[in-house]
A and B are shown apart, each in its own frame.
Chain A
Amino acid sequence: MDDDQIRSLVDSRNGTVKPAIYSDAQLYELELERVFGRTWLFLAHESQIPNPGDFFNTFMGEDPVLVVRQKDGSVQVMMNQCRHRGMKLCHADSGNTKAFTCPYHGWAYQVDGALQSVPLEKEAYRGKLDKSKWGLIKAPRVESYKGLIFANWDESAPDLVTYLGDMAWYLDGFLDRREGGTEVVGGVHKWMIDCNWKFAAEQFCSDQYHAPYTHASAIQVLAPTPQNKPDGSPLGDGQTERPAWANGLGGVQFAGKGHGSAFFFTENADANVWVGGEVSAYFRETYPEAEARLGKVRALRLAGHNTMFPTLSWLNGTQTLRVWHPRGPGRIEVWVFCIADKAAPPEVKEALKKSHARAFGPAGFLEQDDSENWIEVQKVLRGHKARQTDFCMQMGLGFEERREDGIPGITNGTFAETAARGFYQRWVDLMTGKSWNEIEAAGAAWEQEVIDA
């Protein structure tokens, strides 16, 4: 598919996409190179690999990588692939090691990726193998942002903070509520969904609109009403009476550099009805510290959705952070982490782990509904006609603005698709092989155009 054909699939000015972008195998192959080979990808949280030799096994796109803490405290990211015959070196989810030894022929690599030893080096290679040339392939760019470790294969990519742009302001609201930062609580939920990665990423980027209907059942049965809790005790002491979208105070959607976020304004630091009571109470008690660090708007924000382009998403309040690892045009592997303030007491972290699983684990009251939608859309896209049919992405078109109250970036009302239009515009800019300077310039031009429209 050439660049003109790719451009014809997305019309971010008029708000349409051709759904072939979710199903075409050729486009998917190109995405592995031009999206996942060039963007900053979330890999692990610093708290998961505290000590030298600690590793976390994950993926950049479809490429398996090991994230490894070094003796000097730095983090290196290397392909989990032996240089001899390409065997996967390590199958543990995480752990601590002195070396990575290939199960196939026994090539052994140091934790910094250097090839340390080769069986029968003298007899088989006659002493002629230059081991210094056969270390593991390493990601040239590794950066952390407030505890989150990212890597990028593209040496020409902007640094992580530049790549985030105004999204850093929203990410700070999630990671910087208390002194000491955050940590991952418990293990990683992993499951498969038969859908394209962009359905999941775009929903967390731009789709507040789905929540009242998709999640209607959870909202009905979890609302703290006497019918739902006949003994009179509320589900959680600190929860909102109703979902934040029903409180009439309005809210904001943000779009920038392909990232997106949205939330509603609230008067109290209360989490949504599906967040456990002990967790909500904790947010209430720690509100003054959060307000001092973040200001009122972000400290009060205990709900809403976020995607950092391409595949890192999180939800405030529920404290779920996830990566949508692509597995072909019609499949993703979801990895979900529960994020807590490091300073939170152990009983709050335990409550958070339960609350998080109950809402957004694979059996979660809300999670179940989302995956069902994406799978069913993907099934329909087997059809020839279905793949030619324009999808409508016009919500809030022309109502974008820059706010004057300190909330940064291009914004719209909470129910809008500005962030989706920005997400797909960034996707086109990457997929048509522009240089990073051109991509950044195209993003800035799109933002200006949106505001001028």
Chain B
Amino acid sequence: MLDELTRPLRVSADLQHEVEQFLYLEAALLDERRLREWLDLLADDIEYTLDTNSLAQFRDRRRGWAPPTTYIFHEDKYQLERRVARVETGQAWAEEPASRTRHFVTNVRVLAQADDELVVGCNYLVHRASKAHDHHSFIGTRRDTLRRIAAADGGETFTIARRRLELDEFTLMSANVSIIL
């Protein structure tokens, strides 16, 4: 997920602030388990993806080849909604009792602007505490496409049109990913 940029895009402090505040709001909704409100931030045509990573030897990297990867998430809005519905049953055992999460978002950069859409890059750290003693961290980077839409109150806001996650681990050290990253 390399950026083409060799120097920062010039964006206004207002835009940077607006983007960051939106991402922080989203993180807060997830951490407060306001998952239905989180779903409302997603565009109907959202693609939410996360692939595995693979380890390639130098000889293969040099010729542009790497061992194949596969999907961890490849979700549309309906599938994301079903994930929320699953947690709501009270029988999704990895989230029963509910875990606590903290989503950190850093290195927020606007990478491209076109019409009503922005491509925003950031690094993330998600900490999950579950059961009595378990702690898991998920660290990676992501690229979000934010689309400007009319807000219900007449102003403007963003909706998330695309989220491409990367997770830095090669072998996941957590037994499962039962939360939204």
Contacts and interface: CB of A to CB of B under 8 A. Distances in A.
Nearest to B60: A95
Interface stretch (A151-159, A186-194, A247-255, A283-291): A186-194
B176 A363 contact: yes
A338 B89 CA distance: 28
A367 B178 CA distance: 10
Interface stretch (A86-94, A139-147, A258-266, A444-452): A86-94
Contacts of B59: 95-97
B92 A357 contact: no
B52 A369 contact: no
B83 interface: yes
Contacts of A362: 72, 172, 174-177
Contacts of A373: 93
B175 A363 contact: no
A368 B74 contact: no
Contacts of B176: 191, 362-363, 367-368, 371-372
B21 interface: no
B6 interface: no
Given A218-B86, A333-B171, A188 B92 contact: no
Contact of B178 (A94, A216, A363, A375): A363
A220 B82 CA distance: 10
Interface in A217-264: 217-218, 220-222, 228-229
Contact of B91 (A186, A216, A228, A229): A216
A369 B69 CA distance: 24
B94 A368 contact: yes
Given A95-B59, A191-B175, A357 B74 contact: yes
Nearest to A227: B85
Q: How large is the interface on A (under 10, 10 to 19, 20 to 34, 35 or more residues)?
A: 35 or more
A214 interface: yes
Contacts of A220: 86, 89, 91
A377 B52 CA distance: 28
Nearest to A94: B67
Contacts of A214: 93
A221 B87 CA distance: 10
B30 to A, nearest CB: 15
B175 A372 contact: yes
A323 to B, nearest CB: 13
A358 interface: yes
B85 A221 contact: yes
B113 interface: no
Nearest to B71: A357
Interface string A94-106: 1111000000000
| Interface residue tally on B, bucketed by range | 35 or more
B73 A363 contact: yes
A257 to B, nearest CB: 30
A256 to B, nearest CB: 31
Interface in A35-51: none
A372 B52 CA distance: 21
B178 A191 contact: no
A282 interface: no
A365 interface: yes
Nearest to A97: B59
B94 A353 contact: no
Contacts of A338: 70
Contacts of A185: 70
B131 interface: yes
Contacts of B177: 362-363, 368
B54 interface: yes
Interface string B29-53: 0000000000000000000001010
A62 interface: no
Interface string A177-199: 00000000111111111100000
A358 B173 contact: no
A229 B76 CA distance: 14
B12 interface: no
Given A217-B92, A365-B83, A187 B67 contact: yes
A361 B89 CA distance: 21
B101 to A, nearest CB: 14
Most buried by A among B52, B131, B173, B175: B175
Nearest to B170: A190
A190 B67 contact: no
A227 to B, nearest CB: 9
B72 A357 contact: yes
Contact of B57 (A97, A228, A367): A97
Given A93-B54, A95-B57, A187-B68, 17 more contacts: A91-B55, A92-B57, A95-B56, A95-B60, A95-B67, A96-B59, A188-B70, A190-B171, A190-B172, A192-B175, A193-B175, A220-B91, A221-B86, A229-B78, A358-B75, A362-B176, A373-B93
20 contacts: A90-B57, A92-B56, A92-B60, A95-B60, A95-B65, A96-B60, A96-B65, A185-B70, A186-B71, A189-B70, A191-B172, A220-B86, A221-B82, A357-B71, A362-B72, A368-B177, A371-B94, A372-B93, A372-B94, A376-B131
Interface of A: 90-97, 185-194, 214, 216-218, 220-222, 228-229, 333, 338, 353-354, 357-358, 361-363, 365, 367-369, 371-373, 375-376
- Top 8 nearest A-B pairs (CB, nearest first) are A186-B70, A191-B172, A363-B177, A92-B57, A371-B175, A357-B71, A187-B68, A93-B67
